[in-house]
Each structure stands twice: as C-alpha cells, then as structure tokens.
Amino acid sequence: MVTERACEKRQFGHRARLALTPAQAQLMDTQAHAARALWNLLHDWWTMLPRDKRSLAAADAAIRQGRKEIDWLAVLPAQAVLKTYFQAWKNCWEGRAGRPDFKARFRTVMSVDIPQGRDLCITRVHRRWGMANIPKIGRVRFRWTKDLPVGKRADTANRITGARLVKDALGWHIAFRVQTLEPAPEPRHGPEVGIDVGVTVPLALSDGTTYGHTAWLTGKEQTKLGRLERRAAHRKSFRTRGERTSHRLRATYDQIAGLCARAKRRHLDWQHKTTTVIAAKYGVVVVEDLNITNMVKSAKGTVEVPGKNVAQKSGLNRAIIGEAWGRTVELLTYKTARRGGTLHKVPAPGTSQRCSVCGVTTPGSRESQAVFACKNPDCGWVGNADHNGARNILHVYRTGLALVPAAGRAVVRRARRVKPATAR
C-alpha cells in the first residue's frame, strides 16, 4: 500500500545578491529611474482619460508613440512597466493592495520588473554563482544560495515566471518569482506549543524553550552609527527649509541606511532560521492575536491632556517595532502549513496575568518583567513570566477559543487536500 498524495502549486520568491560591474550598476540605475518616470507618465495619462477610453491597447499605443518622441525611454523595456502597472491595478481591484499612486524620487524603492522568466536564460556557473540575462543590461552574476528550476529541471509546472530587480542600501538584488508543483503535505497532529513574544525575551515557548538574539550590530558598528547620526544632524543644521540636500549629507544618509539594512538582514536571517526550527518541531503553533498598531501608538497626548512617560513609551515602541512580531507570525504561518501543521491565534487579554498552574488571575502577580508570583493563597507558584504567558496561550487554544485568520484557513485547507490511499 502506497499513499498517493495530491500535488499543489506553490508560488514563492527568492532573493539573491547581484555582482555588478560599475558600468552595469550605472545602466541599472538609469533604467530604474526611467522606469519610475515612465510609471508616473503612464499614471497621469491613465487617470486623465475617461473611463470608457482606458484599455491596455490604448496604453500600449501611447507608450510606443512616446518611445519615438522621447529618447531616454529606449534604455528600458517599456512593456515591462506597462504590465507592472496593470498588475498593480488588478491587485487593487482584487483587494490585495492599495491604489497605484505617483512614485516620488527619493521615497520610492528603485526597481525594474522582468515579467517573462524565459528572458532571464539562467545558468549555474558553479556552486556559489549563477548567471542571468537582464534586458538592456546583458549577462550578470548573482549569488546562488538556493536550487532553482532551471535547465533540465524546468518544465511547465516547475519554472521561474519572472523577476524583479530591487536596489536597497546594500546594492542591487534580483528577486525571482518561482512556481513549483509539490506533493501536498500530510496533516500533522502535534506536538502543540504556545508562543509568547516579547522584547527582553523575543520568543518564549510553553515547554520552557526560549529563543533570543544579541544586538544586530557589533560594538564598532553601533559606534559608527552614532557618529554618522551626529554628523548628519550637524550637517542638517546648516540646511534651510526647502533647500536641496547636499551631496555630503546624502552620502551620510546612505551610510546610515547601509548599517540599518545590514541589521535588518541579520534580523530576518535569525527569524527565518528560528521559525524553521519551530515549524519543523511542532505540529500546532499558537500565538496571541496582537493589535501591534495600537500597541505602538504615541503617548504624548494633546496640549490640553499631555501624556505621561512619553520618552519611556517611545523607547518601548521602537523596541516592539524592531522585533517585528508580525513578520515572525507570517513566517510561521506558511512554514507550518508547508509541513502539514497549523497556526492558530488566540485572544491576548489576560494571558500574562493568569497563573498557568492554578488558573486564577490575581492583582499584582506580575511582580516584574521576568518574574510571575501567584498571589493566590492556595497556590503561591513563582516562575518565569514569559513561560507562564506561553502556557496560558496554549491553554486558551485548548479550551476552544482559537481565532484562525482567513489567510491561515486557506493555507490549512490547501495543505490538507490529500487523496485516499490506493494500491499499486
């Protein structure tokens, strides 16, 4: 008897670092600025037209006419911008994104879209590097850190459908859009675990396990960041309102952005590795349904009713935002589903005040950030506050008060689509 499982289509992205020559980097910058300008022109043209005259054919004809009259439009594949713009409207109509808008020069991520995967012509050079063809740029190298469906491994079901070139403070990267056909995972039943997120202890599990991390920047990097921030504040003091930012000040901003991007990359790497371990070990993961937007609101109040402990609350808000709890839950959601597990959310109120041993909530039990001491005379249990909250989160799930989001239910349904066993 062999179990035959149904296959499901999986779409995901993979981001790799590009190794560009100075000439290629300059061409890519020019192409990105041209793509942003063409997006703005297309957006203005689209919004000014009457609704009955808006169509893909009319936009394509307008772009072809514009390429004949404007010479700088020849540096990029203009049809890629058109497809990206229409996809943005499609995402807006289907409720997956907001309305497309004007792209400002300094507040927009520089990017160029490659809508067709067959234009990339990806080849693997050796273990660490691969080569891809970028329209109007040529062959470029990228860091090979994941096996991609290219060459003999590529077919109709397993292939690269497109890519996007993105520039951040650390340079240019290529984000592949990958489509694969994989067997649906078999449902897993346990073990169950509750997770309490925090600032001092990032992740505390109900079985007593904790996952922490050190500072994302080293001591030298933090010293350098402080020096750059003081330098930027000093140079900004000489800039009048409305005056263009000087090249020195912008160069300082770029150095600050590079250090912040490095810290973010290390944080994301830690999140991916930690969530992978949790998803592989547990079948049911339970987290709190936190409203992070309300948690990080400012406490400054108004002129009539000023807030209290504003500086302390600002520091707490920065720490909460820096931990990126929402991204951790998002990673756990799809990683547990890929392994046949499930992720559930439970109501947050009361999970940190209730005693996980006796089940009684008494005032003053949370003596400090790290210690929970039950004030119930019949109990008196003392333990770690984070582990106590994680056990309470798991208890709320077992009592039947779990709240599964719509996205999580869809993922779980796809993961549980299994055919019955058949004999061969």
- The pLDDT value given to residue 8: 82
pTM of structure: 0.81
**What's the confidence (pLDDT) of residue 5?**
65
How far apart, in Å, do the first and last CA atoms of the chain sit?
7
pLDDT on residue 1: 38
User: Which pLDDT score, from 0 to 100, does residue 61 have?
Assistant: 85
Buried b / exposed e across 219-228, counting CB within 10 Å, b at 16+? eeeeeebeeb
Listed in sequence order, the residues at least 6 apart from 274 whose beta carbon sits closer than 8 Å to its beta carbon are 203, 211, 328
Reference 323, options 404, 215, 405, 229; nearest CA is: 215
- pLDDT at position 416 is 34
Domain limits of the chain? 7-183, 192-220+266-415
Spatial separation of the C-alpha atoms in residues 282 and 399, rounded to whole Å? 19
User: For each of the chain's 424 residues, which pLDDT tens digit applies?
Assistant: 345 567 888 888 899 999 999 999 999 998 898 889 888 988 888 888 888 888 888 888 888 887 778 877 777 776 778 888 888 888 888 888 888 889 888 788 888 888 888 888 899 888 899 999 988 888 999 999 988 888 777 888 888 998 999 998 889 999 999 998 888 888 887 788 999 888 888 999 988 889 999 999 999 999 999 999 999 999 999 888 888 888 999 999 999 999 999 999 999 999 999 999 999 999 999 998 888 888 888 777 766 667 777 788 888 888 888 888 899 999 999 899 888 888 999 888 888 888 888 888 887 777 777 888 887 888 888 888 888 889 888 888 888 776 654 344 433 333 333 333 333 3
At position 410, the amino acid (one-letter code) is A
* CATH fold group of domain 192-220+266-415: Nucleotidyltransferase; domain 5 (3.30.420)
pLDDT at 4: 58
Q: CA-based angle 154:160:164, to the nearest 5?
A: 160
